[in-house]
Amino acid sequence: MERIFTLAKTHLKLPDTYEFGVDKKSIKVIILLTIFVIFIIIISNTSSSNRQLIIKNITRSSDNFYPCIAVLVEFRTVDHIVAIVHNINHHIPSTWPIQIFHGKDNEAFIKNSTLASLIISGKIFLTYMNETYDRGRTNQLLTDPKFWQRIRGEKILLFQIDSAMCSNSPHKITDFLQYDYIGAPWDLSFFTFDRQYRVGNGGFSLRSRSKILALLALIPYDSKIPEDVWYAQNLHRVNGSIPSIEIAKTFSVESMYYVRPLGVHRFPWNCQFRADLAKTCPESMLIMPDFYPAIAIIVEFRAVDHLVAIVHNVNYHIPSTWPIQIFHGKDNEDFIRKSTLAPLIASGKIFLTLMEQFDDRF
C-alpha cells in the first residue's frame, strides 16, 4: 500500500485547479481514496476465494463419492476405536477415506482423540446417526438400504473394532477388488447354514455397494439368519462375485487358519491357532482377549425348548457386550445349533462348550 501511495504521489501529474474548479489538495484526496477502494476490493475478492476454498475442503470428504472407502459403525466410547482405525488407515491406500458412523455419545470422544488430525485433513469423515444400533441390531442396520445409501463409496471395506489388518501379509486390499463380497470363510464345525455358501464373515469384509442395494431391492431380508450369511447365500441373484474359500482365507481369518492373511476377525473363544497366528500377525493380539469382564453361563444337557426360551430371555436383558457360554452335551448340541439361537452362535454372542454329562442332576 505504501508503494502504491508513493507511485501516486511521484508519477501522477495533477491538473491545475482552474480546470475543474477544485484545488490540488482535494484532487489528491480523491485519487488516494480511489486507490484505497480498489485495494479493498482486491483484498475482499481474495478473502472470498479463500473462504470458498476452506468451505470446499471442509465439505469435500462428505460430499464426494469415492471408488473405494473404509467404513466403521461404532456408538461406544472405547479406546479400541482409535487403535483399530489407525490400524486400518495404515494398511489401506492413501486415496481411500474412512467414514465413521457414530452417535451423540461418542462424537466428542472421536473428535478429541488422536484421530483428530485425520479428520481435519479429510482422510476421515464422520457421519452422525440419530438412532443407536448396538450389536444386537447389526443385522437390522446392515440390511437397511438407507444405511448403504449414506455410504460415500462403491467398494466398501466394512470393519468392526474386533478386526485388524496384518502388516506381515503379502496380500493387499487391492488384490480383492474384483469381488462383490468377501469375508473370512466359516468353518464347518460350527456353521449351521447352507454349507455351499461359506464366504464369509461380515465383521471384516469387502462389499460392492451397488450389488448390496440391488439385492435389497430384489428380495426381502430373511431376519432368521445373520446379515452376512444372507448376503453370502443370495448375492449370486444379482450376479455378485464371491471368491472361493481358499481365496477368502487369504483375505481374512476367523475360524479357518491361514498363515499370513490380510486381516483377522475376532476368533471363536476356543480357537486353537491364535498363538500361531499371533507370530505372523501380531496385530491379531488386539482383538483376542483371554477372558471377558462379564459373561452369562448356562449348563444344560437336555434338548428342551425351554432352554432356547430362557437363553433368549437372558440375552435380551444383559448388556450387548456380555457373551453367553452354554455348557452342553452330545445329545443336545445339534438341537441347540439348529434352534433360533443359531444366529447368536454364528455372531459369537453365544458360544458352546461340550461337556461329558457327569452328574444325574443335569
Cβ-in-10-Å burial (0-12, 13-18, 19+) of 90 comes to exposed
- Is 71 within 8 Å of 98 (Cβ atoms)? yes
Task: Please write the tens of the pLDDT for every residue from 58-86.
Answer: 444 457 999 999 999 999 998 999 999 99
3-state secondary structure 62-125: HHCCEEEEEEEECCCCCHHHHHHHHHHHHHCCCCCCEEEEECHHHHHHHHCCCCHHHHHHCCEE
pLDDT tier for residue 341 given thresholds of 50, 70 and 90: very high
207 bridge partner residues: 156, 181
354 bridge partner residues: 328
pLDDT at 58 (0 to 100): 41
Arithmetic mean of pLDDT, 225-229: 93
pTM of the predicted model as reported, rounded to 2 decimal places: 0.66
* C-alpha cell belonging to residue 137: 441390531
Most confident listed range (235-249, 278-292, 312-326) = 235-249
pLDDT tier for residue 22 given thresholds of 50, 70 and 90: low
pLDDT at 55 (0 to 100): 39
